Structure formats: C-alpha cells, structure tokens
Structure 1
Amino acid sequence: MELQQIRYVLAVAETNSFTRAAERCLVVQSALSHQIARLERELGARLFDRTSRMVRLTPAGEAFLPAARQCLDAAERAVAEVAAAAGEVRGRLTVGVIPTVAAIDVPATLDGFRRKYPNVRVGLRVCASEDLVEQIKDGTVDVAFLGLPATARPQGVRSRELAHDRLVAVVAPGHPLAGEPHVDLHRLSSEVFVDFPAGTAGRIQSDQAFAAAGLGREVAFEVTAADFMAQLVRQGLGIAMLPSAYTPQLTGVITVQVSDAPARVEHLAWSRFSLTPAASAFLAAVGAPAELLAERHSSEERQE
C-alpha cells in the first residue's frame, strides 16, 4: 500500500468522481483508476461501487477511510516534525472560528501567519462552537476561536479565555426600541426574535437568560450566519441579541444596551494531545506561549 494510492482513494471519496479526483490530484484518470484497482486487489475488497452515473463507497470503503485519513495525517506530521527540527515550520493548519468572533481579527491574523510561515497550508472553518470543539477532538481542526455562555467552558480540549462581553439588542432603525438608551429582558420578551438554531452555544446564552428571568420569547427565524441575521433585522422581521464587540461590523441596524443581558466569553481552544508544529506556531502567534509549551511538554511525556 502506497501513500499516493490512499490520496487517490480519499480524493474519489470526497468528490464522488474519478474524473474530478484525477483533476484534483493532477494525474490522468486512467493512472488514478489503475492505482485504486491495485489497492483493491491488495486489500481483497472493492472500495467503490462504480456505475456510469455514480461513484459511491462500499461498506469496505467506508471502513477504510478513517484509518486512511489517519495514515496520511501521520505521514504529513512526520514530514512537518522533521522540518521543525531543522527550524522550519511547514505542514497544514486548520483554524476554526464562530461567525461572531470579535476578540481577534481573524483575516489579519491568518494573513500575518501565512506571511511568516509560507510553507504552512492554512485553512479556515466557520462553525458553531460545539461543532468546533468536536472537530478539535477528532483532529479536523487544530485551533479554534469559540464563544460560550459565561457559565460554560470548552470540554475535552485545552483552552484559555480571550475576552468577556455582553449581548446587546439589535433592531431596525425604525423599530420603537431604536431610540431607547437601554431595555431589559422583560421588555424584549414581547418581541419576535431572529436567533441562532436551538441548542447551539450562540442561542443557549440568550435562552438561559430569559429562562432565569422567568420569561418566554418567540424565536421565529433560526439562522446560522450573523450577517444574514442582521439582514432579517433590517427588514423589520424581528430583533436579535448579539455580542456588543461584534455588532460594530453590522450596517443598517441599531444596537440597544440590555440592562440584564447575558454574558458571553470568547475562548481560544486546541487539542489536549500533541500539537503539530504549525498549530504550535499559530498558538504562539496569538499569545498563548505558556499554555502551549506546558501542553506540548506534557503530551510528549504521555506519549513516551
């Protein structure tokens, strides 16, 4: 079994097409198909069901993928560690962020990191905090910026607090609340809300605050993107509650202070286990050197 064969299998699995996989891998389709067929003979099982219109994984192919990804990740990690020993940071870095991250300028940070470490392939994922925590655990995300209620902490990962904030009400310019200096949750409870999906960290902080005050509210619009949330608010379809540090990015809406608003804490999170050289360099770049060094040392001791 060769690493290139594994790369070909993953490319076909991700594109559902031998043609697109060959284009991604910069090889002719016949060569890619030949190598996958060789691998299937070696394994004694077909990895893909092929028809004229569809390519899909067989049960054997589904079973093969997790270990195949781990194998490629380990190979890339080995190369990166050798380079790091020689003083060069390379490899892959995947950063996760929540839609309302405000404690750090993510685009500027990624740009500065890429300029300093041009041999690192940088990727970005925008997800809810709870999804990013799971992706850190399974190794698909290296470092993430999270936003959680003040009563919660990231579980199963290493983290440090970056910033504390409170939510504000976000309303359309013509809304009756637009001219108010401040409001409270009781007044807001009579409004129709635009909010994040139920069960997400971005939603829970508001739900908990209204519940603690013995209040209910109507969430008519559930969306995953804060900028789309602002579009709905601008149309007068509802109001929203968003972190005060994030709302200056929005246009065409008015923010109102909430006297008993829920608090939100932004966290920087990373794996409890060993870090890649690229992840270590990124953590140092965003100001987590003490935690980073302690974690990297303890991880190496555990592996020994």
Structure 2
Amino acid sequence: MDLDKLSHAVMVAREGSLSAAAKRIPMSQSALTRSIQSLEKKYGIRLFERGKSGAKLTPDGTAFIAAAEEVLWSARRADDHLTAVATGQNSTVRFGAGPVMTACILPRVLPRLADMKAHFQIRTGSNASLRSLLSRGEIDFFVGGAPAGSDHFASAYGFRLHPTWTESGSTEIFVRAGHPLTEASSALPYLSRYPVACASFTRDRLGTDGFHALGLQPPSVEIDDYHVLTDLVCSSDFILIGTPTVRQMRPAHEMVMLSLDTRGMLQPWNWAVVSHSRVPLSTAGSLLVRALGEEFDRIHAQSD
C-alpha cells in the first residue's frame, strides 16, 4: 500500500482538480496524473471523471476516497504512537473546541495541560467545521454541542459521543449594562428595535422562524468567536443571543443576561466529546476530557 499515492488521490478529491491538488502537494501535474493512474490500475477502478470543470469523483471513487482517508488517519495515529514510544513521550493529542467551550472553558483548563506529558494541538471553530476536521482525520476529537437523547448525530457521521455535560436547553439575551432593555419592565415588546448578533450554533438551533417567534430581528452579525461577540455587545446596543454559559465571559457590571422563554422551540442539546466511532481516546485525550468536564461542572456549580 502506497500511502503517498493515497494522499495524492485524497488531495485531488478535496481540491476538485489535478492542477489545484498539484500546487497544494506540491508536485508536477504530470507526476500527479501518473500517481492517480497507478492507483486506478492497481485497484481496477476509475476514481475521477476529468473534464473542463475539474476532476469529479466517480461512485467507486467516492467510496475509495472515504476508505483512503480512514487509512491515512490511522497511519498518522500509528506514526504518532511510534514516535512517542521512541522518544519516551506521550503522543500528540489533536482536538477541537466550539466557540463557547473555547471562550469559557479552555482558558481555565489550559494551565492544567502543563502537568500532562503530551503535546496538544487545538483547533477552534463551529460545530460544522469541527465535524469536517474530524472526518478528515485532522483532529482526534472535538468538544461541542450535540443533540440530547438521539444517536442520529453520531450514526450519520460515523462518530461516537462520549459522556456529555448537560446545560439548560434555553437561549438567552445578553446586552450591555445600561442598555435600554434593562430599564424596561418587560424586554419582549422592544426586542425588534435592536440588531442581533450570535454564533452559528445559535442560528442553527433557532432558525429563521425561531428568531421571528421571539420578536427578534434576523442576525445581522454571525461569528463563532464569543470574545468578538461580547466586545460588540458591551460597546453597542446589539443584542447577543446565546446559551447561559456565555454569562461567564463578562462580569455583571458589563453585560446583563435577560431570560428568553424558548420552551418548546429548541431541540435539547448537550455538550459532548465527539470522536471517531472506531478509534478510542488516548490516555492523554481521556485525561483532557476529564479536566474539561470537571471545569464545566465547577462553573455551573458556581452559577447555581
């Protein structure tokens, strides 16, 4: 099995053309063509249909690339493990974190990583981007939102959900201290007056109908960075929509939480550790997950 040739085919599938893939690898386009042709000859299938619009996967090619990505991911893990054995160090842990976890939990956990004899590589982003990274084997697991009480999320992507930490399924309003909404006896009649900001997780949960049902404008700012979102809210009349954990980002004298009644409007979600279904967490990865869970529980115990 030639791992280099498998990685060539995967790159062509990702880039959508031989020329773009050749630049990314990098290698000459003619050499890349020979590499792909060699794979097609060895396995007796046609991987790509080549045309003016690029290289499009055939049905056989789609299945082949999925298997190749799994092989390459396993090979990278094995290489990390062998390197760790040779150097006497624990293997590298590659993990991802969603925007709330990145903003509220990671800063409290990262100092503890110094006591773990491992190398941690952290990627941040939306749930969708982290799912993509996990599917491609670029991270070992991620911590983000997952539907509560359903295995569809896991089975649809071939992932495993590890023990989760439960948070209220509610969505709340956050505004700056002194915002006009804090002075009203009820904020609900006045919500439509103010622009809305949120992360993609909140937008996905509420949807267009949800914002309308709550009397909110559709989000005019969407970004998966709660430092930016809370800065925006504390310096303007923007309304931030998010989960109760977001209140950990700013002291009460800077940002105020106003409860929304979203009962029956939202699918319950939990925080979950999501990994490949066939690959167990490493020892260092399990220790990290435990530290994240302990910190999550501590923050919510303080809030109760």
Pick the TM interval, shorter chain. 0.5 to 0.7
Distance 2:26 2:139 in 1: 26
Asked if 1 retains the 8 angstrom alpha-carbon contact of 2:47 and 2:58, the reply is yes
Q: Does 1:158 align with 2:158?
A: no
Alpha-carbon distance change, 210 to 34 in structure 1, aligned in 2, over 3 angstroms: closer
Which residue of 2 is the match for residue 176 of structure 1?
180
Give the AA of the match of 2:239: I
Give the AA of the match of 1:287: R
Shift of 1:216: 4.0
Which residue of 1 is the match for residue 271 of structure 2?
267
Which residue of 2 is the match for residue 42 of structure 1?
42
Residue ranges of structure 2 left out of the alignment (5+ in a row): 155-160, 295-304
Distance 1:16 1:22 in 2: 11
Asked if 1 retains the 8 angstrom alpha-carbon contact of 2:197 and 2:229, the reply is yes
**Percent of paired sites with the same residue:** 23
Which residue of 2 is the match for residue 281 of structure 1?
284
Which residue of 2 is the match for residue 225 of structure 1?
224
Give the AA of the match of 1:194: V
Q: Normalization by structure 1: what TM-score?
A: 0.63
Distance 1:159 1:289 in 2: 12
Distance 1:116 1:162 in 2: 29
Give the AA of the match of 1:124: R
Alpha-carbon distance change, 272 to 13 in structure 1, aligned in 2, over 3 angstroms: closer
Which residue of 2 is the match for residue 93 of structure 1?
94
Q: Matches of residues 3-82 of structure 1 in structure 2 within 5 Å?
A: 3-51=3-51, 54-82=54-82
Shift of 1:66: 0.8
Asked if 1 retains the 8 angstrom alpha-carbon contact of 2:172 and 2:260, the reply is no
Alpha-carbon distance change, 257 to 7 in structure 1, aligned in 2, over 3 angstroms: closer
Distance 2:98 2:192 in 1: 32
Alpha-carbon distance change, 29 to 142 in structure 1, aligned in 2, over 3 angstroms: same
Give the AA of the match of 2:65: L
Alpha-carbon distance change, 126 to 226 in structure 1, aligned in 2, over 3 angstroms: closer
Asked if 2 retains the 8 angstrom alpha-carbon contact of 1:9 and 1:36, the reply is yes
Q: Kindly report the root-mean-square deviation, in angstroms, between the aligned alpha carbons of the 2 structures.
A: 5.1
Q: Matches of residues 114-193 of structure 1 in structure 2 within 5 Å?
A: 116-118=117-119, 122=121, 124-128=123-127, 141-147=139-145, 152=148, 155=151, 156=154, 157-161=161-165, 169-171=173-175, 175-178=179-182, 180=183, 186=188
Higher fraction of helix: 2
Can you list the C-alpha shifts for 1:232-263, whole angstroms capped at 9, x where unaligned? Answer: 75664x52333455357579x95323367779
Can you list the C-alpha shifts for 1:270-301, whole angstroms capped at 9, x where unaligned? Answer: 44855456x5413313535999xxxxxxxxxx
Asked if 2 retains the 8 angstrom alpha-carbon contact of 1:166 and 1:261, the reply is yes
Alpha-carbon distance change, 230 to 218 in structure 1, aligned in 2, over 3 angstroms: same
Shift of 1:173: 7.0
Structure 1 counterpart SS, 2:65: helix
Asked if 2 retains the 8 angstrom alpha-carbon contact of 1:147 and 1:201, the reply is no
Asked if 2 retains the 8 angstrom alpha-carbon contact of 1:47 and 1:58, the reply is yes
Distance 1:194 1:8 in 2: 44
